[in-house]
């Protein structure tokens, strides 16, 4: 009886510990390139799952404190705090976003401290491309930088450029003035 109780308590503690680690991030203790790639894939997959489940805390716990998210709009260069503020209402409604990886390439630096990746995604915007960088933060892999792009078939680029020409021209003019004022 005592032995069964001890086994039950140990099993419960291990389960809770694993659940907490999943929410905090993947521990960066693996040392081979293949094992680091496996960890990176786990982090990215958990990050996408957290968004699909509208789990705000899990999502942002997988990002570095100084993480950046670059969205599809030319004005979307979200530093971590601003991205949290922008995203909170979507997560609170239970409808964030759902990115389903179709393929992913993961690369590891020679020193094994930085990981970068690119991925093709199925999203609510149809096929998109994501790319990012993971760094070790407090011995956990964290997403430090992520860029989301809408893919455009080459034979449709002209139509898309025509579609966005006026808004791009306005933004180009605004950025040119800002740059001139900062020089």
CB distance 64 to 143 below 8 Å: yes
- pLDDT > 70 in the chain, percent: 84
Architecture of the domain made up of 2-151: Roll (3.10)
Query: Do β-strands 140-150 and 63-70 pair in parallel, antiparallel, or remain unpaired?
Result: parallel
d(CA 58, CA 21): 10
Neighbours of 43 (CB within 10 A): 22
Q: Name residue 103's beta-bridge partners.
A: 120
d(CA 90, CA 113): 33
The domain segmentation of the chain, as residue ranges, is: 2-151
Using DSSP, state whether 13 is helix, strand or coil: helix
Q: What is the pLDDT of residues 151-181, one digit of tens each?
A: 999 999 999 999 999 999 999 999 999 999 9
Q: Say which residue, 1 or 5, is predicted with more confidence.
A: 1
d(CA 158, CA 5): 69
* Token code pair at residue 23: 């929410």
pTM of the model: 0.82
């Amino acid at each position: 009886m005592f032995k069964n109780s001890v086994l039950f308590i140990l099993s419960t503690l291990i389960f809770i510990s694993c659940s907490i680690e999943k929410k905090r991030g993947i521990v960066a203790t693996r040392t081979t390139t293949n094992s680091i790639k496996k960890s990176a894939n786990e982090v990215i997959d958990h990050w996408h799952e957290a968004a699909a489940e509208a789990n705000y805390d899990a999502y942002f716990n997988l990002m570095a404190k100084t993480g950046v998210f670059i969205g599809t709009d030319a004005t979307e260069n979200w530093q971590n705090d601003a991205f949290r503020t922008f995203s909170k209402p979507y997560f609170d409604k239970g409808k964030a976003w759902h990115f389903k990886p179709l393929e992913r390439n993961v690369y590891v630096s020679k020193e094994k401290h930085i990981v970068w990746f690119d991925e093709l995604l199925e999203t609510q915007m149809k096929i998109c491309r994501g790319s990012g960088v993971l760094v070790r933060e407090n011995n956990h892999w964290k997403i430090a930088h992520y860029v989301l792009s809408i893919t455009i078939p080459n034979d449709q680029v002209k139509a898309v450029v025509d579609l966005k020409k006026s808004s791009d021209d306005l933004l180009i003019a605004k950025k040119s003035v800002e740059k001139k004022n900062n020089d």
